[in-house]
Amino acid sequence: MNIANTVALITGAGKGLGRSVVETLLEKGATVIAVDYDEAALKEIPPHEKLTIVAADLLKDEFFSETLPGLFKQFKINVLVNNAGILHNKPLVSFGKAGFSKISNEEWDLVLNINLKVPMMMAREVVEHMIKTRAKGVIINISSISAQGNLGQSAYSASKAGIESFTKVIAKELGAWGIRAACLAPGYMDTVSTHAVMQEETLNNIVKNVPLRRLGKTTEVANGICFIIENDFFNGKVLAIDGGLTI
């Protein structure tokens, strides 16, 4: 696909990786719909004639019953980037000064809902819209190297392994309509969220195991998204942008 001809909806677009994807796609001429519940962050994106910002919580029913159908009337969307997600560190069980601690159902549900259920719901609605408007396109889901099973990240890793499996299935199901699906799995990227959930010492130790000895840049993920959009034969696969950490 020629990026300049695409209409791309990016979730979690206000900050971090999503924000970089928005700016890169705009630079390449795409029409972009940026969705995030952090309205202040969305407003920090420099205005652009081809950018529409939508402040909405993807976990609220109204987004799917009102906001998204409204966007379908306005735009012929042919690229979806399911990027919104939460990084979450919590072992299944742990024992510390405060005693025995277990991951709660609420934590598990929150991580699985935003990282796996919402991408499914987004894909389901956008695919229906694409088929009805006879648009060929691509669903891109953001996974993580944690899909391989990161120590201390039971819910997060399960959500990311789930999104990779989901992507493979829908790639098989949707090919007949000319719709592709793919995952991009970032390694440790230099974002505010990475520094917020990881201790610097832990992060420094991880970086020692990255063959390139550094964190990734948000633009490197954005360039990976461009590759997936542009390569019409890339389908059902996971593109790892991790500096070689998972070799």
Residues acting as catalytic residues: 156
Cβ-based nearer residue to ligand NAD, 131 or 203 = 203
- Minimum Å distance from CB 169 to ligand NAD? 19
State yes or no: residue 72 binds ligand NAD (CB under 6 A).
no
Cβ-based nearer residue to ligand NAD, 119 or 137 = 119
Q: Are 77 and 129 in contact (CB under 8 A)?
A: yes
Residue 46, CA distances (Å) to 15, 20, 228 in order: 13, 12, 25
| C-alpha distance across the termini of the chain, in Å | 29
State yes or no: residue 193 binds ligand NAD (CB under 6 A).
yes
Cβ-based nearer residue to ligand NAD, 15 or 90 = 15
Residue with tokens 């034969």: 233
Strand partners, 126: none
3-state secondary structure of 199: coil
Which strand (E) or helix (H) includes residue 70?
Answer: helix 68-74
Binds ligand NAD (CB under 6 A): choice among 144, 153, 157, 167: 144
How far apart are the C-alpha atoms of 193 and 218, rounded to whole Å? 12
What is the DSSP pairing of strand 7-11 with strand 238-241?
Answer: unpaired
Site string for ligand NAD, 99-128 (x = CB under 6 A): ---------------x--------------
State yes or no: residue 38 binds ligand NAD (CB under 6 A).
yes
Cβ-based nearer residue to ligand NAD, 148 or 231 = 148
How far apart are the C-alpha atoms of 53 and 98, rounded to whole Å? 43
Q: Are 11 and 79 in contact (CB under 8 A)?
A: no
Binds ligand NAD (CB under 6 A): choice among 4, 40, 59, 93: 59
How far apart are the C-alpha atoms of 111 and 159, rounded to whole Å? 7
Nearest residue relative to ligand NAD (C-beta): 16
Which of the stretches 56-64, 65-73, 95-103, 227-235 binds ligand NAD when contact is defined by CB under 6 A? 56-64
State yes or no: residue 162 binds ligand NAD (CB under 6 A).
no
Binds ligand NAD (CB under 6 A): choice among 181, 194, 229, 240: 194
Rg (CA), the chain: 18
- Minimum Å distance from CB 158 to ligand NAD? 13
Strand partners, 101: 94
Which residues make up the interface to ligand NAD (CB under 6 A)? 12, 14-18, 36-38, 41, 57-59, 83-87, 114, 142, 144, 186, 188-189, 191-194
